[in-house]
Amino acid sequence: MGSDPVRGKTIRWTYDDGPMAGKSFEHAFGEDGTVTWHETDTQKTAKPPTNGERKPDRGSADTKARYQVAPINEEVYAVSYLSGCGYTLTSVLDLAGGTVVSVASNEKELVIQRGTFEIRERVG
């Protein structure tokens, strides 16, 4: 699959646990090494935002960043980016199993979340 199996793809992952349990997010990995993301509206069981959280607009500084990919083996890759709102998301994608483990962090908190993912489409 090469050293960057996400480049040029849109991937939707859904978390099974953690503060984002029940929520799905689409990540569009561009050919230019940037990623944009947004929460999808397909999960009706998602918890409502708390503590003044807001849902960023598509394409805002909060939803576009440069990303890095590090292969772990032929089927497992770590993907990481720093969002404009100060969170780093590092996700380990198991391509064979379709599972994701993400670590979201900023200067105040560190959260681990687990779920599944699917490749949705090629990015334009």
pLDDT tens digits along 8-47: 999 999 999 999 999 999 999 999 999 999 999 754 443 4
Q: Which long-range contacts (CB under 8 A, 24 or more apart) does 49-56 make?
A: 56/85
CATH number, residue 69: 2.40.128.20
Residue 21 lies in a domain: yes
- pLDDT given at position 25: 94
Q: Per the domain annotation, does 3 fall within a domain?
A: no
Read off the pLDDT of residues 48-83 as tens digits, 9 standing for 90 and up. Answer: 444 344 443 444 456 899 999 999 999 999 999 999
Q: What is the mean pLDDT of residues 109-124?
A: 86
Residue 85 within a domain? yes
Whether residue 87 is contained in a domain is answered as yes
In a domain, 1, yes or no: no
Close Cβ partners of 25 (under 8 Å, ≥ 6 residues apart):
12, 13, 14, 37, 38, 39, 40
Asked if residue 98 is part of any domain, the answer here is yes
What is the per-residue pLDDT for 54?
40
64: containing domain: 9-122
pLDDT tens-place string over residues 92-107: 999 999 999 999 999 9
CA angle 40, 64, 86 (to 5 degrees): 100
Q: Domain total for the chain?
A: 1
